[in-house]
Amino acid sequence: MTLTQEITLDIFNAPLFEYINAKQADNVSRVLVATITANGEALKPDHTSAQAIFRATKPDKTGVMDPAAIGEDGKITFALTDQVLAVPGDVAAEIAIVEGEQVLTTATFYIQVEKRHGGSGAASTDEFLVLVQATEKAAEAAEAANKAAAYVGGMTVSAEAAADEATVTAQDRDGHLHLSFGLPHGPAGPQGPAGPAGEMGPQGPSGGVESVNGRQGQVVVQDKLAGTAEQLVGFDESGNAVCKDISELLLLAHPVGSYYWSDADTDPGALFGGVWERVKDVFVLAAGDAYTAGAAGGEAAVTLTLGQMPAHNHTYHCFGGTSYAYNGGSAGNFKGYSITSPNTTYGSGAAGSGEAHENMPPYITAYCWRRTA
């Protein structure tokens, strides 16, 4: 039995609902159909060219990255798997829409998972069905490439055929399979002069999966998440196609220079591979025109200089108990007060201790790592 729930997710604003309620360990029985909006105006992703991805972080910090379906009406449908609902508590989730190099992500919404009675169900682990799906497509392309390579070595080539029969011939040219089709025709006429070469046409769009060069070629898969083409399948010395394992896919998803944030003090090298350095006690600022990438600066606490202090006034007092009287501000008086005894000292009272003050905005701390190799 499948239960369907309609929700609305905005690109800019938090959802109007507080939680989506679910039960621990339920599996693909709860289906969410999301309408995507931008400031309340409905968006309609192209189901023929865009890809939707459901991403979530469970209370134990394990992650989910599952494919979602885009309908002709632009609504996005996805099922809550037993891994999404493996841990009781609040699951933080979002929907990403990927088209070419463009990625658009909704505001975060929450799924409240109620504890299951009589056992916890499946053990909680990372679930990356998007990467599994990419690996399966790469494996299908590898199988097709192997079949093409087998045809090169196994097809019989006919050099002579009757003049009144259609012909099909195959040739192995440096490991490439070439098929030629012929139809019955009359005697050939004299060869005419060669015409001028035409201009090269524009390059066509890249396909999702392509195989090149037959036996010696390689299968290339378009990584829509990163927007770049990465080698996921190659050929061994015997000409058999081999897929990379999930650990190599995780490295491709976290290239050198990537940052990783978590509430858990776990080196991401143990999760994804690679070499990571810990970033400590600093804010991360987006590079731009004013601040270049790799620059560092700022202070946690500062002491103001005289030039940085705001303009202000001081109140003056009479010291030593000397009496004074206001006389209307005539010449020789100090700030409109008449001094009744000579050599009386006037000065302002001191205030402040000169200590540094905190220079930090409101913050929340998490562990941060940067991949270096």
Distance separating alpha carbons of residues 29 and 37, to the nearest angstrom: 26
Helix and strand element counts for the chain (H, E): 3, 25
Model confidence, pTM:
0.40
**CB-based burial, 46-69: b 16+ in 10 Å, e otherwise:** ebeebbbbbbbbbeeebebbbebe
Helix 246-253 to helix 129-154 angle (10° resolution) is 120
Q: How far is CA 224 from the centre of its chain?
A: 11
Distance separating alpha carbons of residues 349 and 317, to the nearest angstrom: 8
- Strands (E) across 106-225 are located at 109-114, 167-173, 176-182, 209-212, 218-223
CB 300, CB 283: distance < 8 Å: no
Greatest Cα pair distance, the chain, in angstroms, is: 138
Give residue 275's region: left, alpha or beta (phi > 0; psi -120 to 50).
Answer: beta
Q: What is the dihedral of CA 22, 23, 27, 28, to 10 degrees?
A: -20
Q: How far is CA 221 from the centre of its chain?
A: 18
- Per-residue pLDDT 10s for the chain (373 aa) are 899 999 999 999 999 999 999 999 999 999 999 999 999 999 999 999 999 999 999 999 999 999 999 999 999 999 999 999 999 999 999 999 999 899 999 999 999 999 998 877 789 899 888 777 766 776 676 676 666 656 545 443 333 444 455 555 656 555 555 556 555 556 777 888 988 888 888 887 765 544 444 444 444 444 434 434 345 555 667 766 666 667 777 888 889 999 999 999 999 999 888 999 999 988 888 889 988 888 888 888 888 888 888 887 665 544 444 444 433 433 344 444 444 544 445 555 566 777 887 878 888 899 999 999 9
Quick check: helix, strand or coil at residue 301? strand
Confidence (pLDDT) at 158: 38
CA distances from 251 to 132, 301, 319 (A): 14, 38, 75
CA distances from 266 to 259, 293, 367 (A): 13, 26, 8
Is residue 145 within a helix (H) or strand (E), and if so which, with residue range?
A: helix 129-154
Q: What length is written for the chain? A: 373
Distance separating alpha carbons of residues 204 and 301, to the nearest angstrom: 57
Query: What residues contact residue 366 under an 8 Å CB cut-off, 6+ apart?
Result: 261, 262, 263
The secondary structure of 249-271 as a DSSP string is HHHHHS-TT-EEEESS---THHH
Distance separating alpha carbons of residues 192 and 201, to the nearest angstrom: 25
β-pairing, 109-114 with 20-23? parallel
